[in-house]
């Protein structure tokens, strides 16, 4: 062992001990005849002291040591004259007697500090140095704690962890697969799993009863800021359960994680149907840390000659408390905001309910005070509030209002970062219509069970059939989702029919699962929670990349190891493929 202690554990009670520490040089400074080195490791920082008067050679040596050198120092723990109360080791220092440079370091391309001067690209390239910084190191520790606590909760609850295979079969349904050419079977390919979905259902058929896995999943999609080609999910499945059992189990999990890791006791989770979420929040993952629900007023606004409203499928808005003072400039900026392509509205109507009980709106030409006051009633607006109204097609208007609602909450600082509001969104539609291909797709996946009471709508009004499918949302972030699965052969056949699969095609794609279902499939259901996103929620930042040790950049590249890269001709020949 190179050391007797780590750099985070020595305190006032260790004074007098002779210790050996190892670590990286965080800082090296000279104060008159003294030199001090801040020695850093994963556990903390301990100050090393050198004195020109008592040991000139050693102190001179210490002065040559640069940042990020790896050193080993032996000496006595002594009390510091000027204590640092910000760190646990701040009351002591080491009076060094022996010093050894274990390894030198070149000057790092950016500073290894909580706030660094390195840009994104540079830090990705030198990820091993970026990970030395405390915020990233803490993120990885958080991830470790979350994973351990999750596994122990599930294992204690009777779940078995089963590792499912990575080299599986490509299924054209859903997102794109990454594929792996087979050398032994030239011209054939494995695919990397987008999720262990079919395997976990097979495990239920096999009688495993309760399964879990923290599983790596792969999707070859064009990347966005919060997407990675490989990501991890807490993947679970249970037999002989209904939706309520899944909720109980995983609400319990999330509560325990918050308790263990953040010391927060969460109350029972709220629930909201998908329809309500869309109606009142404009999206299926509402942030319920603040109110400001969407209010629909199209029934109150027609026939006054305002074409925008008259022609709109939906006229709806939000009431922003105490924002009647917003200036023309601020309102123009909001109009610009909603007109951004990402938000997509055509314009913004505002109605100020002034403190003096008067109204001022951008549609004064069309609507008199009586009208505006009736809107205020609908919005539950008070004097001093600002109503912001959008109009247009239902789906896009809701989506734009959802973005506007979040923007207003941010502008008015309505979101408390220390508050956590988990929410079950339930009763998702079973199917969604795709205009491009003119067919229905399973919203969740083709094995999601429709609600029994909606089954009779499957042929007549497929879009109205609700599924036993649910998402878990925390603070407006979709943490995961799941469903009760179809385990009945006849319902499955109907489902494939509605999805436009012919029996043969269904068999080609899902044959092994359908075969398995012939041999006694139990009722079952499950859920998958995104570990990366869960980490981000716990860590209080937005980017999942900050919680992945070695992420890819937005082009799917790992610039540190330079992957992907070209292969040798010999390698290509061996797997029997040509590059086009």
Q: Tell which positions 188-217 bind a copy of itself, by CB under 8 A.
A: 188-192, 198-199, 202-203, 205-209, 216
- Distance in angstroms (rounded) separating the CA atoms of residues 536 and 404: 23
Candidates 18, 183, 271, 302; binder of a copy of itself (CB under 8 A) is 183
Closest to 410 in 3D by CA, of 320, 283, 508, 489 = 320
Candidates 168, 266, 414, 455; binder of a copy of itself (CB under 8 A) is 168
Least CB distance to a copy of itself at residue 570 (A): 8
Q: Does 261 bind a copy of itself (CB under 8 A)?
A: no
Q: Which residues contact 8 (CB under 8 A, 6 or more apart)?
A: 41, 42, 43, 44, 45, 46, 88, 89
Least CB distance to a copy of itself at residue 68 (A): 4
**Which CB, 103 or 413, lies closer to a copy of itself?**
103
Q: Tell which positions 500-529 bind a copy of itself, by CB under 8 A.
A: 511-512, 516-523
Placement of tokens 């009945």 in the chain:
488
Candidates 53, 115, 117, 222; binder of a copy of itself (CB under 8 A) is 222
Helix (H) or strand (E) holding 40: strand 34-41
Candidates 31, 57, 184, 225; binder of a copy of itself (CB under 8 A) is 184
| CA distance to 40, 541, 560, per residue, from 126 (Å) | 19, 21, 6
- Distance in angstroms (rounded) separating the CA atoms of residues 398 and 408: 15
- Distance in angstroms (rounded) separating the CA atoms of residues 68 and 70: 6
Q: Does 100 bind a copy of itself (CB under 8 A)?
A: no
Q: Tell which positions 550-569 bind a copy of itself, by CB under 8 A.
A: 550, 552, 555-558, 560-568
Neighbours of 524 (CB within 10 A): 26
The backbone torsions φ and ψ at residue 534, rounded to the nearest 5 degrees and listed phi first, read: -60, -40
**Which CB, 179 or 300, lies closer to a copy of itself?**
179
Least CB distance to a copy of itself at residue 288 (A): 28
Binding track, positions 1-20, relative to a copy of itself; x by CB under 8 A: xxx--x--------------
- The three-class DSSP label of residue 475 is coil
Least CB distance to a copy of itself at residue 209 (A): 4
Least CB distance to a copy of itself at residue 454 (A): 21
Q: Does 289 bind a copy of itself (CB under 8 A)?
A: no
Give the DSSP per-residue string, 432-453: EEETTTTEEEESS-TTBPBPGG
253 close to 263: Cβ distance less than 8 angstroms: no
Q: Does 148 bind a copy of itself (CB under 8 A)?
A: yes
Binding track, positions 68-97, relative to a copy of itself; x by CB under 8 A: xxx---------------------------
Q: Does 491 bind a copy of itself (CB under 8 A)?
A: no
**Which CB, 1 or 57, lies closer to a copy of itself?**
1
Q: Does 178 bind a copy of itself (CB under 8 A)?
A: yes
Total residues belonging to the chain:
580
Candidates 17, 63, 80, 169; binder of a copy of itself (CB under 8 A) is 169
525 close to 246: Cβ distance less than 8 angstroms: yes
- The three-class DSSP label of residue 279 is helix
Question: What single-letter DSSP state applies at residue 546?
Answer: G
Least CB distance to a copy of itself at residue 253 (A): 16
**Which CB, 400 or 536, lies closer to a copy of itself?**
536
Q: Does 108 bind a copy of itself (CB under 8 A)?
A: yes
Cis status, amide bond into 564, omega within 30 of 0: yes
Q: Does 536 bind a copy of itself (CB under 8 A)?
A: no
Closest to 477 in 3D by CA, of 533, 529, 527 = 533
Q: Does 461 bind a copy of itself (CB under 8 A)?
A: no
Q: Does 167 bind a copy of itself (CB under 8 A)?
A: yes
**Which CB, 67 or 373, lies closer to a copy of itself?**
67
- Distance in angstroms (rounded) separating the CA atoms of residues 370 and 208: 65
């Amino acid at each position: 062992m190179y050391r007797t202690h780590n750099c985070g554990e020595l305190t006032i009670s260790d004074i007098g001990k002779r210790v050996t520490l190892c670590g990286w040089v965080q800082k090296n400074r000279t104060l008159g005849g003294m030199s001090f080195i801040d020695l850093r490791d994963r556990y903390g920082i301990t100050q090393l002291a050198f004195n020109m008067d008592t040991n000139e050679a050693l102190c001179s040596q210490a002065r040559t040591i640069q940042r990020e050198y790896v050193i080993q120092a032996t000496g006595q723990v002594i009390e510091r004259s000027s204590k640092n109360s910000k760190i646990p080791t701040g009351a002591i220092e080491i009076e060094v007697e022996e010093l050894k440079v274990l390894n030198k370091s070149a000057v790092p391309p950016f500073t290894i500090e909580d706030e660094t001067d390195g840009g994104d690209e540079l830090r990705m390239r030198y990820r091993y140095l970026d990970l030395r910084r405390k915020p990233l190191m803490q993120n990885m520790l958080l991830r470790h704690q979350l994973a351990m606590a999750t596994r122990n909760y599930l294992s204690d609850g009777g779940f078995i962890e089963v590792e499912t295979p990575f080299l599986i079969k490509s299924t054209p349904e859903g997102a794109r697969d990454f594929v792996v050419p087979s050398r032994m079977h030239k011209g054939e390919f494995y695919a990397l799993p987008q999720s262990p979905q079919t395997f976990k259902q097979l495990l239920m058929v096999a009688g495993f009863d309760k399964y879990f896995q923290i599983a790596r999943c792969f999707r070859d999609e064009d990347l966005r800021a919060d997407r990675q080609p490989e990501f991890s999910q807490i993947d679970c499945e249970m037999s002989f359960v209904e939706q309520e059992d899944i909720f109980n189990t995983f609400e319990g999990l999330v509560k325990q994680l918050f308790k263990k890791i953040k010391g927060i006791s969460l109350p029972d989770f709220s629930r909201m149907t998908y329809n309500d979420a869309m109606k009142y929040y404009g999206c299926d993952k509402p942030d319920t840390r603040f109110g400001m629900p969407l209010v629909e007023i199209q029934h109150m606004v027609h026939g006054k000659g305002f074409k925008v409203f008259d022609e709109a499928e939906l006229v709806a808005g939000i009431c922003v408390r105490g924002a009647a003072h917003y200036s023309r400039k601020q309102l123009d900026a909001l109009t610009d905001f909603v007109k951004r392509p990402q938000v997509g509205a055509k314009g913004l109507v505002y109605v100020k309910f002034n403190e003096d009980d008067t109204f001022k709106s951008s549609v004064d030409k069309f609507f008199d005070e009586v009208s505006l006051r009736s809107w205020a009633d609908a919005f539950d607006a008070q004097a001093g509030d600002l109503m912001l109204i959008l109009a247009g097609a239902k789906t896009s208007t809701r989506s734009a209002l959802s973005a506007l609602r979040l923007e207003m909450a941010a502008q008015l600082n309505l979101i408390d970062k220390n508050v956590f509001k988990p929410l079950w969104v339930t009763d998702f539609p079973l199917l969604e219509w795709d205009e491009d291909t003119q067919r229905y797709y399973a919203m969740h996946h083709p094995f999601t069970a429709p609600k029994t009471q909606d089954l009779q709508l499957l042929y007549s009004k497929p879009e109205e059939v609700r599924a036993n499918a649910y998402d878990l949302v925390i603070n407006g972030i979709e943490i995961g989702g799941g469903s009760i699965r179809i385990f009945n052969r006849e319902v499955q056949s109907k489902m494939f029919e509605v999805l436009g699969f012919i029996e043969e095609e269904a068999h080609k794609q899902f044959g092994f699962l359908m075969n398995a279902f012939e041999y006694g499939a139990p009722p079952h259901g499950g859920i998958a929670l995104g570990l990366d996103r869960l980490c981000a929620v716990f860590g209080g930042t937005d980017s999942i990349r900050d919680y992945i040790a070695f992420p890819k950049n937005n082009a799917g590249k790992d610039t540190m190891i330079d992957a992907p890269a070209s292969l040798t001709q010999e390698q290509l020949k061996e797997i029997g493929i040509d590059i086009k």
